[in-house]
Amino acid sequence: MGFIHKPYGFTMMPLILTMFVIVGLLSAGMLLLASSTQRAKTVGAIKFLDSTANAVVLWSASSRTLPPTLQTVFTGGNPLDPWGNTVVYLFDNNLTAIATGGICGRTSTNLTVNGTPNIAFALLSTAGDAFQSTWTGVPAFSTTVFTYPATALGTTATLATGDLFKIVTLEELKNRAGCYGNTQGQLKILNNELPKGCNGTPYSATIFAGGGVPPYPTYTITGLTGTGLSALGANITGTPTTTGSFPVSVQVTDSHTPTATSVQKNLTLTINSCGGSLPTPTAAWNFNEGSGNTIGSGSTLGTIAGTANWVPRAGGFSLFLDGTNNYIYFNDINYYNIGTGNVALSAWVNFSGMPKQSWCDPVSKVDMAIGAIAGKGFLYPAIGYGMYVTQTRQCTSCTSGCGAWSNYKVAFQLRNPANTDIHYVYSDDTISGSSWIHVVAMLDRSASPATDQIKMYLNGVKQTVTTNDYQYTAPTALNFDNSFKFTIGARHGGGSSYAFPYWGPIDDVQFYKVALTDAQVQTLYTTTALPYRIWNNSGISRWYTYYNGTSTTPCSTAPVASGTEFPPLTVKGTLSTYSNSTCTNNLLAVSYTNAIDTNGDNCLNINQTDRSCP
């Protein structure tokens, strides 16, 4: 039997082919592994640049400047990318110091990257090979220096796609570093409206700004003319003297350098009447009797001591008191006691008379006259409440060489039963001695804060001079009941004793056993103010317009002949007169807000000089 031989294993050619396949597969695997590693490093580098940029931003937020080197942020040295290379730091050098603006004080940078201006800084990685990016205006790239401050205006960088980089703009850095506060972004006025106000009630509003670069050094607020309000900085304050809606323009400027940024916004100020209706007075005297020696009736019946000098005033009368023994007293003592309650006194006064009694200080040689306006008791040694006027003159001696009277002021006084607790409130400024002034003084025991218990108003304006004593020591316990008579034009000291006689015209005195609000005082002022009578003394017929504190009337349809009277004007009015029927030529505009009415009859010439109306 024969045997057949069968060969086993590989022949040479298949073996060679197999080896080629194995080597190819191994090579492909190595290439795939290398590519995967490169991708992982690239992803890691992007995250690394983001985290490095965040670290720079966090450092900048606390210092409001950029770090001058990355070593300033990373105390262990420049951070290394996944390839072990040092990161390049390209930035605007102006952002590294407050003196040159820092972050928040700059509106632009010297660095432009890939066509985008105002770049704060950029971070670059070579991605494992040589740099492909270029830049101008900064030191040339060095293998040992990796901090490149852009110090020249117009520095431009072109960062190639072959490199990995992170760019942070100035605006992004400002937002992330907190330059804009909570609002962030552009400068803006945050107010969308102004709070509504009440006529005669103290008003305050504040303009709020956000964004931009704080602080905000300049606020410009216009449109408040004629409202009684004024602006100081970001605040609008005052006591409104009229009602209506008024357009107000607000402009705010921030601290951007080198050029500040401004923004403007239009708002509306609304002033309402707010219920300034008046309570019924306990007693009121309008002095329109015009004859006789009494005023009022019943408990409000007053007797005029001395000669009653009735003076015409705008269709009615006032009473001129001569400053000696000329005053009004009321016999119903209990009717004017206020006990532990409140009190408010109101009067129109004119100090155009001449005081007949005064007291001279022998040391200073200052002569002082005191005239009681209205009250019950008050002024030493009496006990009670009341308001009065003072004026002074300087003398060379207390018996001769005295100058003219001046320094007119109104005061309100309260005294306690022990005659040791005395409180005064004076008018803020001296006032004209020949103009009609509306005065209100009151005790409001329940006022909050307590420093607002004693108040005074002149022409509806609350007096706020800091030297005044606005708080009573024991307002709830103090009882002002006394046995003195209520008086106008003097102070009753008991029995037949009357002192401190008032000089000049007086009109429309009111007495309340309640405190009035600011709005009610304003209403009292506007409703009791008498119109001025304006006489055309120009020698020609005059057409006219009239501003009443809120709006201006159209040009009159007919002229007012010379030697005749214009329609009555309120004390806040401005009369503008013209020589033609279109109210455009020969303008004469005169404000009669504080006119000089010497004889007290409310009659003035067209140029605001005094006259006697027929």
Residue ranges per domain, the chain?
15-177, 188-272, 283-526, 531-614
How far is residue 248 CA from its own chain's centroid?
13
Cβ–Cβ under 8 Å, residues 460 and 200: yes
Nearest Cα to Cα of residue 82 among 56, 54, 48: 48
Per-residue model confidence as pLDDT tens digits over 33-79? 446 666 778 888 888 899 999 999 989 888 889 999 888 888 777 78
Supply the DSSP string of 449-512, one letter for each residue: SGGGSEEEEETTEEP--TTS----SSTTT-----SPPEEESSEEEETTEEES--EEEEEEEEEE
Instruction: Please say if the pLDDT value at position 557 is more than 70.
Output: yes
- What pLDDT score was predicted for residue 367? 93
Token pair 């401004």 in the structure block, residue? 262
In CATH terms, 188-272 corresponds, of 3.40.50.261, 3.30.420.40, 1.10.3720.10, 2.60.40.10, to 2.60.40.10
Amino acid at 84: G
Per-residue model confidence as pLDDT tens digits over 339-390? 888 999 999 998 877 888 888 999 999 999 999 999 998 887 768 899 999 9
Q: Does domain 283-526 have CATH number 3.40.50.10440?
A: no
Cβ–Cβ under 8 Å, residues 410 and 373: yes
Rounded (to 5) percent helix, strand, coil in the chain: 15, 35, 50
Lowest mean pLDDT among 113-122, 395-404, 413-422, 438-447: 413-422
Strand partners, 181: none
Supply the DSSP string of 310-378, one letter for each residue: EEEETTEEEEEEESSS-EEEES-TGGG--TTS-EEEEEEE---S--S--EE-TTT-EEEEEEEEEEES-
Cα 6 to Cα 14: distance, rounded to the nearest angstrom: 18
State the average pLDDT over residues 122-132. 80
Most confident range, picked from 169-178, 420-429, 589-598? 169-178
Cα 274 to Cα 562: distance, rounded to the nearest angstrom: 42
- What pLDDT score was predicted for residue 473? 58
Regarding beta strands 309-313 and 316-322, do their DSSP bridges make them parallel or antiparallel, or are they unpaired? Answer: antiparallel
Instruction: Please say if the pLDDT value at position 574 is more than 70.
Output: no
pLDDT level of residue 276 (50, 70, 90 thresholds): low
SS3 559: coil
Lowest mean pLDDT among 204-218, 261-275, 424-438: 424-438
- Residues of the chain with pLDDT > 90, as a percent, come to 28
- What pLDDT score was predicted for residue 449? 80
Cα 604 to Cα 436: distance, rounded to the nearest angstrom: 13
Please give the structure tokens belonging to residue 2.
């024969």
Other C-beta atoms lying within 10 Å of the C-beta of residue 37: 11
- What pLDDT score was predicted for residue 366? 93
178 Cβ contact partners less than 8 Å away, ≥ 6 residues apart = 61
Instruction: Please say if the pLDDT value at position 461 is more than 60.
Output: yes
Instruction: Please say if the pLDDT value at position 89 is more than 50.
Output: yes
Maximal CA-CA distance, the chain: 179
Instruction: Please say if the pLDDT value at position 598 is more than 80.
Output: no
- What pLDDT score was predicted for residue 224? 92
The single-letter DSSP state of residue 582 is: T
Instruction: Please say if the pLDDT value at position 447 is more than 90.
Output: no
Instruction: Please say if the pLDDT value at position 476 is more than 60.
Output: no
